[in-house]
Amino acid sequence: MKSHAAEYQGAEPLPQVIAATANSLPEQDHALTRARAFAEPLLAGETLDTGENMLAHADAVAAILKSIGGSEAMQAASYLVYACAHLNKPQEVIAKAFGDSFAELAVETTKLVQVQRQARAAQVAAARSGTPVPMAQTTAMQTENVRKMLLAFSRDLRVVMLRLASRLQTLRHFAVTKLPVPPALAAESLQVFAPLANRLGIWEIKWEMEDLSFRFLEPDTYRQVARLLDEKRIEREAYVEHLRSRLESELRAQGIQARVQGRPKHIYSIVKKMRGKALNFDQVYDVRALRIVVNTIPDCYAALSWVHSQFTPVTEEFDDYIAKPKPNGYQSLHTIVRDAEGRPIEIQIRTQAMHEHSEHGVAAHWAYKEAGSKGYAGVSANSSYDAKIAVLRQLLAWERDLSGPQQGQGFFDDRIYVLTPDAAIVELPQGATPIDFAYSVHTNLGHRCRGARVDGAMVPLSTPLKNGQTVEITAAKEGGPSRDWLNPELGFLVSPRARAKVRAWFNALAVHETVARGRDAVKKLLQREGKTAIKLEDLASQLGFGSADALFEVVGKDEFSLRNIEILLRPPAPPATQDEQPHLKKSKSDGTSRGGVLVVGVDSLLTQLAKCCKPAPPDEIRGFVTRGKGVSVHRADCANLREMAARNAERVIDVEWGVSKAGELPLYPVDVSVEALDRQGLLRDVLEVFAKEKLNVIGAQTQTVKGIAWMTLTVEVADSSRLTKVLGSVAGLSGVRSARRR
């Protein structure tokens, strides 16, 4: 049979009919009646993924909300939430029939349900894969899920109530039908939803949800403890009632007006205490538990004194939460005493106001969303914002509760949670300042931060923030951070992320100045060389840089010599013919002439350095007397010289380098060869090595074949021995296979 959902999806007329029907109901009908009439045709034939009928589930959720004091408007929302999934334009249709508030609530709750389903699906997939998930990853996933939930909760607290009631009904459904419960659902109920109910003081839901979840997760242990409780239940209840009556009458005899109540114990809380303190069932103190409610704080301590005088106190099990309340505001005196037979009894003592806070917590403020401008359910419009902040602070405390000893003590101890003026939650490291807060909200807000208000009061920018505070930033229209913020002694920044953003701002400023300096230097060089028509991007590419700014930056840092650009702009002249070769004419001397090449035994003889081997001091050299062109000077190991000497040995003469005059260092051209894997920036890197060693490269030829680059560079040197170190540095560059003198 075709489902109702299939009929409704994609068919706008039916939702319009439903909306019209809802609007046609008499005005005096309650929203609850109208909402159920609206949702019934959509939900009656549908089922949830748990197998439960959707309309029956919505009915049960509305009943649970009623039992914990939820308004009819909230009960009505339980139907609209489930109807939402079966409408093409849910926000538009529900807003038209019931108003924007209901529409927003339904859509937000639906989004949250989807997030939770995705999280459970991920856990199920991990379990089915057979690969164990490390505890750290499990904790991280759970924490991330909590944060997503917090974002939804901070918008509308009614979402919390609807999700808690819905989850409790789902657990009840599995308990009644005895169907197998997905472990991920039971674990989420126990680890996330039950602690949330506890934080908000909704004890009815908290206890039942814990016991049902534990029953599904550990059925054997649950049955064992339940059996132990049942074995002496009648005897225990009779004893507790006798003790309750005795305490109440004797306290009144002492002039202390008190109501004494028995406290039912729940299986999960008993097991948790047994495991936490490594106790046997018989050693669990609060199986027999009483609560004493008095009128004033002095009466609390007077009642405590009387109880300790009548019974034997267990001193190490006393807690004074009146003098030192719990973080969520809980106050009470907790003590454990033993009766004449040695049986332990847990007793709580508190005032009526403390008891009401303990029972209801901040859940009493849930009406703030429904208050509007006129106020609702005792929460005035003026106090609705404060109520919302109180709820948010408890939600933040609930998130910290989730760390627990079993997940690594103090998992959230190094973090704080503060609020924006719009009550959005911002997570910061412990000790964070308003500047850290500003950078967490937006980088630009951090740069322009000039002042801050915390809970409405102006504070210095170095003030450490605390959990739950509301922070408002005063910002300049433009500007940047102060260098003082990076001084750790001044305490302006704690967050590494914020500190990195400030450093990045100053680094970007420094790079901008360096690039501008390099750009000016390159442009001036191009003007001197008459090459202003060259595109700067093309010039950078030819030198091996990815962009012109990259070239300007290294020039501005003096890490790249402008001489390299001059070499590129002045290609080497073609080789001169033999007739054009320059000759070194030697002056008359006594055989010890200074500078140039000394030709032994011959005076005023023309000399020239051979192009084939390009000798330079302190190379060992030989001379070869040419026909009409003087003496050609070769390196002693030159292959050309060996061939000529084999044919005309009589023309080889001894020569040696002369001694340079003081302050004069003649330069000689020397060829070097480099073989490397071709890559971006190779030529630039090679030229930088020579530039750093103050050696001028006066010629460069490159060729690439099948990814291998061959370079021949002509370098001016006064002493060829310096090349050994330089070529070693070149050989160490990335991709270079060899670097040698030719």
The CATH number of the domain holding residue 346 is 3.30.460.10
Sequence-distant (≥ 6) Cβ neighbours of residue 409 within 8 angstroms? 403
Asked if pLDDT for residue 532 goes beyond 90, the answer is no
Q: Cα–Cα distance between 70 and 76 in angstroms, integer?
A: 10
Are 714 and 700 in contact, with CB atoms under 8 Å apart?
Answer: yes
Which of the two residues, 594 and 627, has the higher pLDDT score?
627
CATH classification of the domain holding 69: 1.10.3210.10
Measured at the CA of 22, the angle between CA 19 and CA 26, to 5 degrees, comes to 150
Q: What is the pTM of this model?
A: 0.47
Are 441 and 426 in contact, with CB atoms under 8 Å apart?
Answer: yes
CATH classification of the domain holding 732: 3.30.70.260
DSSP 447-515: HTEEEEEETTEEE-TTPPP-TT-BEEEEE-SS----GGGG-GGGT----HHHHHHHHHHHHHHHHHHHH
- Asked, as a colleague might, if the bond just before 618 is cis with ω within 30 of 0, I would say yes
Which of the two residues, 655 and 590, has the higher pLDDT score?
655
Inside any domain, residue 389 = no
Domain boundary among 624, 657, 690: 657
Quick: pLDDT tens for 367-414: 333 333 333 233 333 444 455 555 555 555 554 554 444 443 333 446
> Do 486 and 563 have their domain in common?
no
Which of 165-169, 547-551, 592-596, 620-624 has the least mean pLDDT? 592-596
Task: Tokens for 360, please give them.
Answer: 């209801």
Task: Tokens for 433, please give them.
Answer: 């300042």
* pLDDT at res. 374: 34
Inside any domain, residue 500 = no
Burial class (CB in 10 A: 0-12, 13-18, 19+), 702: middle
Quick: pLDDT tens for 460-502: 999 999 876 789 999 998 888 998 998 988 899 998 889 999 9
First to last CA, the chain: 90
Inside any domain, residue 679 = yes
Q: Cα–Cα distance between 427 and 417 in angstroms, integer?
A: 5
Q: What domain count does the chain have?
A: 6
Inside any domain, residue 111 = yes
Quick: pLDDT tens for 709-718: 888 888 888 8
> Do 201 and 73 have their domain in common?
yes
> Do 597 and 693 have their domain in common?
no
* pLDDT at res. 577: 46
* pLDDT band per the 50, 70, 90 thresholds, residue 119: low
Question: How many Cβ atoms are within 10 Å of 733's Cβ, its own excluded?
Answer: 17
Asked if pLDDT for residue 123 goes beyond 80, the answer is no
> Do 75 and 132 have their domain in common?
yes
* pLDDT at res. 176: 93
Q: Cα–Cα distance between 354 and 152 in angstroms, integer?
A: 29
CATH classification of the domain holding 426: 3.10.20.30
Asked if pLDDT for residue 199 goes beyond 50, the answer is yes
> Do 56 and 170 have their domain in common?
yes
> Do 258 and 275 have their domain in common?
yes
Determine the structural domain holding residue 636 and report its residue range: 578-657
Quick: pLDDT tens for 696-708: 888 888 887 778 8
* pLDDT at res. 390: 57
Quick: pLDDT tens for 145-181: 555 455 445 456 677 788 889 999 999 999 999 999 9
Which of 11-25, 405-419, 679-693 has the least mean pLDDT? 11-25
* pLDDT band per the 50, 70, 90 thresholds, residue 450: very high
Angstrom CA distances, 646 to 87, 626, 629, 650, 653, stand at 103, 15, 20, 10, 14
Q: Cα–Cα distance between 535 and 619 in angstroms, integer?
A: 43
Beta bridge partners, 344, equal 338
Inside any domain, residue 484 = yes
Measured at the CA of 523, the angle between CA 520 and CA 529, to 5 degrees, comes to 140
Quote the DSSP letter at residue 132: P
Antiparallel, parallel or unpaired: β 425-429 and 319-320: unpaired
> Do 601 and 537 have their domain in common?
no
Inside any domain, residue 401 = no
**Cα-only R_g, the chain:** 44
Domain boundary among 175, 190, 216: 216
Q: Cα–Cα distance between 153 and 378 in angstroms, integer?
A: 21
Sequence-distant (≥ 6) Cβ neighbours of residue 550 within 8 angstroms? 540
Asked if pLDDT for residue 304 goes beyond 60, the answer is yes
Inside any domain, residue 392 = no
> Do 267 and 359 have their domain in common?
yes
> Do 442 and 484 have their domain in common?
yes
Over residues 50-69, the mean pLDDT reads 89
Percentage of the chain modeled with pLDDT above 70:
72
Inside any domain, residue 39 = yes
Asked if pLDDT for residue 92 goes beyond 70, the answer is yes
> Do 167 and 18 have their domain in common?
yes
> Do 268 and 333 have their domain in common?
yes
Sequence-distant (≥ 6) Cβ neighbours of residue 673 within 8 angstroms? 710, 711, 712, 738, 739, 740, 741, 742
> Do 233 and 289 have their domain in common?
yes
Count Cβ neighbours within 10 Å for each residue of 478-491 and write b for 16 or more, e otherwise. eeebeeebeeeeee
Domain boundary among 339, 365, 391: 365
* pLDDT band per the 50, 70, 90 thresholds, residue 663: low
